[in-house]
Amino acid sequence: MYSFSATYLSPSFIGEGTGGNSLTTKLNLQFAPADMVWMGISSALVWIMIPGIGLLYSGLSRKKHALSLLWASIMAACLTALQWFFWGYSLVFTHTSGSPFLGSLLNFCLMKVLGAPSIVSTVPDILFVLFQGIFAAVTAILMVGAGCERARLGPMMLFLFVWLTVVYIPVAYWIWGKNGCLVTLGCLDFAGGEPVHENFGFAALAYSLLLGKRHDPLITKKVPKFKPHSVTSIGFLHGGSTGNASIRSWYACFDTDLAAAAGGLTWMFVDWFRTGGKWSTVGLCTGSIAGLVGITPAAPILCNFAVDLKNIFMIDDGMDVFALHGVGGFAGSVLTGIFAADFIAATEGVRLITGGWMNKHWKQLGFQLANSVSIVTFLKLRLHENEELLGVDLAEIGEYAYYDEDYSDALGKNPKVMRMREAAKEKKAAKTKREPPIEENESNESGCDK
């Protein structure tokens, strides 16, 4: 995304991380208003992904777990915002770190972050904090799907908080930081293929393996659900990743839309051949997401077959987080080494790249492979069986998203609910025994009122 190994085209200023003095300097004059407006709009578009992912995961889960996934998505966004404010942004995007592995705490609690130029050099630091903070929140939220229907919510949030600090921040610095080791090597990443999708995709695989499989046998049944993928695809318009309003921004928007279309069609046709000529709405939506992740129509082919790997290796990844994002991110990173073009990057007007095989820069594919392989590292969490059968909504939250006769019957057959009802009956029976018997009415005894 922000490769400091690239060549800059006449930058008008260089950020020093001082924040600037708003009392003596008109800080707004050093930035293009159009760039700031576009970055603000892009931040709002990416933020839409937060409820979008919650709705997506909720729609894919069964009704007794639906509310918990919405809660987890919003809670993950809240935790990420605090972490990003205190030390996250500083450790990734500080201006002064000379380390190849991690930034500094110069901007701890956003100190000296005001009107100084960000490392993008076209927008102020404080706006860049907002945009990248929402990116980090989306990364954490996407991992929620790996623990669907069996993970305890409290430990899940603790895991996400630690993972963001210990894993996401260093990896993001390697690729986006000013002196990151992968940036120095020459790796390219425009909008988060490695630090976002591939990173949390493989982390989700490790989390799924750690949690184990669900106890509920109903997971083998297919229940059609509406998948609001369109809400998430809006945020995937990564035109804001350029850091300015330029031709490259609109090129990125169109490429994103094209990738979603090609991905959806590719996945759907693969499903059509594999299912004996049946069109799949789920396949169309899932393929669009895979295309958005890889930004290449080849990614849905890889991801489609990667979904089957979880059955072969008996991995319970209910939302296919690893198949879509881990494999898709890996494929997108590698293919960048082939299709990266220098003339596209030049339309941004800020920096140049050497490109990939399209520009006869043969080494770029090796750089991208090194980039991808460096990300692929493996890193009481789950519910009790009775709580899992009851559903995370009631077991952890005490509320549920839907209530109907089917759900009522399911609760009635649940062991935990049955024990609760039996205890209530025993308590009522014991109370009845302690109460004195009610004397019969004299008129009834005499039979006058018969």
- Any residues with CB less than 8 A from the CB of 335 and at least 6 apart, and which? 294, 296, 298, 299
Q: What is the pLDDT of residue 84?
A: 93
- Do 148 and 328 contact (CB within 8 A), yes or no? no
DSSP symbols for 420-435: HHHHHHHHHHHHHHHS
Domains of the chain: 7-402 (1.10.3430.10)
pLDDT at residue number 418: 61
277, β-bridge pairs: none
pLDDT, residue 79, reads: 92
Beta strand residue intervals within 95-210, DSSP E: none
pLDDT, residue 8, reads 38
CB-based contact 278:313 (threshold 8 Å): no
Q: Which residues pair with 7 in a beta bridge?
A: 352
List, run by run, the mean pLDDT of 10-residue segments along the chain (450 residues): 41 53 76 87 87 81 80 90 93 84 88 78 85 88 78 86 89 83 72 67 76 62 48 61 77 78 81 78 75 57 53 59 65 70 62 66 69 54 61 64 52 57 70 59 46
Structure tokens at 129: 């904090």
Structure token digits, residue 312: 């072969």
Between CA 56 and CA 44 the distance in angstroms is 19
Query: Helices 363-375 and 327-339 sit at what angle, rounded to 10 degrees?
Result: 160
Considering all CA atoms of the chain, what is the largest pairwise distance in Å, rounded to the nearest integer? Answer: 111
CB atoms within 10 A of CB 2: 24
CA distance 304 to 320: 10
What's phi and psi for 352, nearest 5 deg?
-120, 155
**Residue 71, C-beta contacts closer than 8 angstroms, at least 6 positions apart:** 153, 397
pLDDT reported for residue 183: 75
Calculated CA dihedral for residues 328, 333, 339, 342, nearest 10 degrees: 140
